[in-house]
Chain A
Amino acid sequence: MKSTSETAERETATEAVPAATARVLPPWARWVLLALAAAAVLYAPFYFAPFRVFQLTLVLVYAVVLLGLNLLVGYSGQISLGHGAFFAVGAYGTAILMRDGDIPYLLTLPIAAAVTFVLGLAFGVPALRLRGLYLALVTLSMAIFLPPLLKRFPELTGGSQGLSVEQPASPAWTGLAEDQWLYYVSLAVAVVAFVLVRNLLRSRAGRALLAVRENEAAAEVMGVRPSFYKTLAFAWSAMLAGVGGAVSTWVIGYVAPDSFTVVLSINLLAGLVIGGLASLSGAVYGAFFVMFVSSVAQDISGAAPGIASGLLIIAVMLIAPTGVAGLVRRLTAAARRRLAKE
């Protein structure tokens, strides 16, 4: 067990600081590849049918949520089995604002972000006193109690029926269909979120966060205040989940308690582990998993998807503890070595 976690950490380190890793591809080739990838991402909504575009948009939404969860679990070494709750608060808050408020929908995003940030802070403080299993249980109960709570106040939340909101329309000047417009809006949110988190991780604050995860006592001796970094990681993590929730309401146009059950929280964590802990790209891979599992969940009834994700987590932990991101890293490294030899 020890040895697998050590390799996992080492790979994290190489990704965190790509500075000196041997690169075979010349810089221009990297830029060409990057440009091609960007072009594909930008062109996707014209290539795929509206339903696929909708699914890809959800992938972007989940990627933002997983990015937040990764900050908490992968980078700060805490755990949350209830991140679906922050996602739900963002989604419901946005739905309520769009129903009642006379504000432009884009404004619901900073509001959802602020509310979930504060909620995250409020949870982050008691989380300091809880470790491992206890923190897992407390966050899990948060996810369990939220749906009944939502049903409890029907005037506000629409009860079990949920709430429908008018989806944001595509501005006329764009000439885009609604699904395409929502795709680009979600893409913009996701890109901003990834840039922010990447900047954070490559800074003094990011190093302090990792230092606390790696060796809390040593970090403290070096002047890092562990409680501060852990609480802020929690708050940022909740905020990103809330942002994802807000965007999901724009995209889906509907919220209901049954979309935010504990299964969602478990799937998010499963997606993160499968995608790759402590890896930025892992959040994207994991998002595909979450979208896929959530969509089959509508076809298969009952606990089947929950069991499937549970088994998948175990399999991934055994076979590829660094997740898809780790596999991809290893494959590209192998390919590079082969290229270098030729």
Chain B
Amino acid sequence: MLEVEQLTVRFGGITALSGVDLRVSAGELIGLIGPNGAGKTTLFNCLTRRYTPDSGRLAYDGDDLLRVAPFAIARRGISRTFQNLGLFPALTVRENVMVGAHQHGKAGFWSAPLRLPGVRTEEARLREEADTVLRRLELLHLADHPAAGLPFGTLKRVEVARALAAKPKLLLLDEPVNGLTHGEVEDFAGIVRRIRDDFDLTIVVVEHHMGFVMGLCERVVCLDFGRVISEGTPEEVQRDPAVIEAYLGTEA
């Protein structure tokens, strides 16, 4: 489904990604780990066309992703959440989720003001779909709350809801359980498992929380200084000396 080949991204003197190869097959649930600054978010930013890599190839469903405009990524079925939140604070939780479904609506600058036929039914449908997603993520009671002023962990879940409203095929989650308590992390793992089955999703999740990654993912890829240093089942990667050293190196 997704093929990343020799992806290299530089920021001035920093090489955030250097020659990264990654293959993701449809239906996989992959964990992407690595110490801070390893390049995980940068990889997501390339996949959603926030950054254009200096070299390398990104193929998605057989197409060259680098030829897709940033706003058209969602239409291709790729959606994501942001490590440091990318919500619209002045909008309510429900409205945030409805923006996620932007590509599934048509109402525009003429049809909406004039309330042309179809606008009202489309609006009702988008609202209904947003509420369905919110119910799935146990957020429905917050639907009318402004996205500002909710706890960080809750907002991360709102982001997941918004990403799901796009009805993606490939979902990229950037540190989704950051800021959650132990019990909430367990719950969230359950939610991810369920949405993957129900929506037929392929998921790549960046997470520091080892317990979460090890319990959830079938395959784990570890980045360090922009390179893939280990790849395999959670147990294999966890035992890999290179991974242990990378994590120890940063903690020391």
Q: Are B109 and A224 in contact (CB under 8 A)?
A: no
Q: In whole angstroms, what is the CA distance A197 to B114 when docked?
A: 9
Q: Is B29 an interface residue (CB 8 A)?
A: no
User: How far apart are A330's CB and chain B's nearest CB, in angstroms?
Assistant: 16
Does B123 reach chain A (CB closer than 8 Å)? Answer: yes
Contacts A220-B71, A232-B109 known; A199 to B88 CB distance under 8 Å? no
| A196 contacts B114, C-beta separation under 8 Å | yes
CB <8 Å contact, B99 and A219? yes
Q: How far is the CA of A286 from the CA of B195 in the complex (A)?
A: 49
The verdict on A103 contacting chain B, using a C-beta distance below 8 Å, is no
CB of B203 closer than 8 Å to a CB of A: no
Asked if B20 is at the interface of the complex by the 8 Å CB criterion, the answer is: no
A258 interface hit (Cβ, 8 Å):
no
Of B48, B92, B99, B103, most A-chain CB atoms within 10 Å: B99
Query: Do B166 and A222 touch across chains, with their CB atoms under 8 A apart?
Result: yes
Q: How far is the CA of A218 from the CA of B159 in the complex (A)?
A: 10
Q: How many residues of A contact B (CB 8 A)?
A: 39
User: How many residues belonging to B are interface residues under a CB distance threshold of 8 Å?
Assistant: 46
Q: Which residues of chain B come closer than 8 Å to A10, judged between CB atoms? A: 89-90, 146, 148-149
Q: Which residues of A contact B109 (CB under 8 A)?
A: 200, 205, 232, 236
Give per-residue flags for B97-134: 1 if the beta carbon is below 8 A from chain A beta carbons, else 0: 01110110111110011110001001100100000000
A218 to B73, CA, bound (A): 12
B74: contacting residue among A20, A205, A221, A232, CB under 8 A: A221
**Residues from chain A with Cβ under 8 Å of B90 in the complex:** 9-10, 12-13, 16, 210, 213-214, 278
State in angstroms the CA–CA spacing of A214 and B105 once bound together.
Answer: 20
A208 at the interface (CB under 8 A from B): yes
Prevailing SS type, chain B contact patch: loop
- Tell me the interface secondary structure of chain A in the complex: helix
- Residue B91 interfacial (CB < 8 Å): yes
Asked if A90 is at the interface (CB within 8 A of a chain B CB), the reply is no
Contact with B along A230-255 (1 / 0, CB 8 A): 00100010000000000000000000
Residues of B within 8 A of A151 (CB): none
Decide if B162 is an interface residue (CB 8 Å cutoff): yes
B58 → chain A closest CB, angstroms: 16
Inter-chain contacts of B92 with A (CB < 8 A) = 13, 17
CB contact list, B75-102 vs A, under 8 A: 75, 79-80, 82, 86-92, 94-95, 98-100, 102
Residues of A close to B143: CB separation below 8 A? 20
Closest to B95 in A: A207
Residues of A within 8 A of B (CB): 6, 9-10, 12-14, 16-17, 19-20, 196-197, 199-200, 202-208, 210-211, 213-215, 217-226, 232, 236, 278
Top 10 A-B pairs, shortest CB-CB distance: A223-B74, A218-B86, A203-B112, A20-B144, A214-B88, A9-B90, A196-B113, A223-B103, A225-B71, A204-B105
B: residues with CB less than 8 A from A are 48, 50, 69-75, 79-80, 82, 86-92, 94-95, 98-100, 102-103, 105-109, 112-115, 119, 122-123, 126, 143-144, 146, 148-149, 162, 166
